[in-house]
Structure 1
Amino acid sequence: MFRGASSIALDAKGRIAIPKRYRPLLCPEDDAQLVVTVDIQSQCLLLYPFQEWLQVERKLATLSDTQPAERAIKRLLLGYASEVEMDRMGRVLLPSPLRQYAALDKQLMLVGQLNKFEIWSDANWQQQIADSHAAVDANSFTDNQRLQEFAL
């Protein structure tokens, strides 16, 4: 399970270095295959261990090719999906079209989301945090009981 947010850098070749604590979870048993694609709801990327991505593909296979919204989801997630490898140094090359989609520059945030990571530009992440705080405002919840379940 991936959790936490890590500040990472994008090098001149378009690579990121995965923090050491996540490497064995991302690539168990020396299987360095990962899949990176776009997030269809936010301007960030999604990085999946290969086995987790296979589960996403199974779900995508159930979507219709004749319903415009379902077809659009498949087109974006599968069309941008790229198999990438983590090298021995823990680096992953992010393809140029994906870097452009997420407006990635030098400073990035790697954010754990249980079965995957989100990869954000630092500026977009800061905006997302502000937007998330506004969305979690207790006055915006219709079910305050549900909100209190998550209060610490």
Structure 2
Amino acid sequence: MFRGLSAVNLDAKGRLAIPMKYRQMLVDLCAGRLVATIDTEERCLLIYPLHEWEVIQAKIEALPSFNPSARRIQRLLIGHATDIDVDANGRILLSQPLREYAQLEKETILLGQGKKLELWSKDLWNSRRDDYIAEVNAPEVLPDELLNLSL
């Protein structure tokens, strides 16, 4: 569904134009209704079509609330989840807390990840991408499924 990398500028009000290649897909999939939340492992945002997020939220809510790790995930992911709509100009408005968490400024990277999009600060993405590329040469950290994948 979502794949590829797009450089997108964030304006001073926190608005971001969704790339044309995703706009019609988002209208068809979810009438432009999205949910953005934080990634608990990286300083980026996760952006889901509403119906995809609802499946994830139900699974998160089903986790045992007396388990400290599960409770942490519930608080972080659901607590930061924000409904956003694609406007008539194909833009979304990101809240200040989400922008601050992901350290988003003008230059951002929108990264397709199948059923969701990730939104990164350009500088953070470039640094993390370089880290990922450096890790490729360490096969002991790759899951067995990747070691057997032929490209």
> Same-fold call, TM > 0.5?
yes
Partner of 1:20: 20
Deviations 1:37-94 (A, max 9, x none): 0001100000100111111111112211100000000100001000011001110000
Partner of 1:109: 109
Matches within 5 A, 1:2-151: 2-28=2-28, 31-141=31-141, 146-150=146-150
Q: Give the TM-score, by structure 1 length.
A: 0.92
Question: 1:118 and 1:145, CA in 2 relative to 1: closer, same or farther beyond 3 A?
Answer: closer
| Distance of 1:145 and 1:110 partners within structure 2 | 26
Aligned to 1:100, the other structure's residue is in SS state helix
| AA partner of residue 69 (structure 2) | A
- Single out whichever of 133-142 and 48-57 deviates more from structure 2: 133-142
Q: CA deviation at 1:135?
A: 2.2
| AA partner of residue 92 (structure 1) | I
| AA partner of residue 2 (structure 1) | F
| AA partner of residue 60 (structure 2) | L
Q: CA deviation at 1:140?
A: 3.6
Aligned to 1:27, the other structure's residue is in SS state helix
| Distance of 1:109 and 1:29 partners within structure 2 | 22
Instruction: Answer yes or no: is the 8 Å Cα contact 2:35–2:84 preserved in 1.
Output: yes
Q: Tell me how large the CA RMSD over aligned residues is.
A: 1.8
| Distance of 1:7 and 1:77 partners within structure 2 | 25
Q: Give the TM-score, by structure 2 length.
A: 0.92
Instruction: Answer yes or no: is the 8 Å Cα contact 1:37–1:81 preserved in 2.
Output: yes
| AA partner of residue 20 (structure 2) | K
- Single out whichever of 65-74 and 139-148 deviates more from structure 2: 139-148
Instruction: Answer yes or no: is the 8 Å Cα contact 1:138–1:147 preserved in 2.
Output: no
Structure 2: give runs of 5+ residues left out of the alignment: none
Aligned to 2:37, the other structure's residue is in SS state strand
Structure 1: give runs of 5+ residues left out of the alignment: none
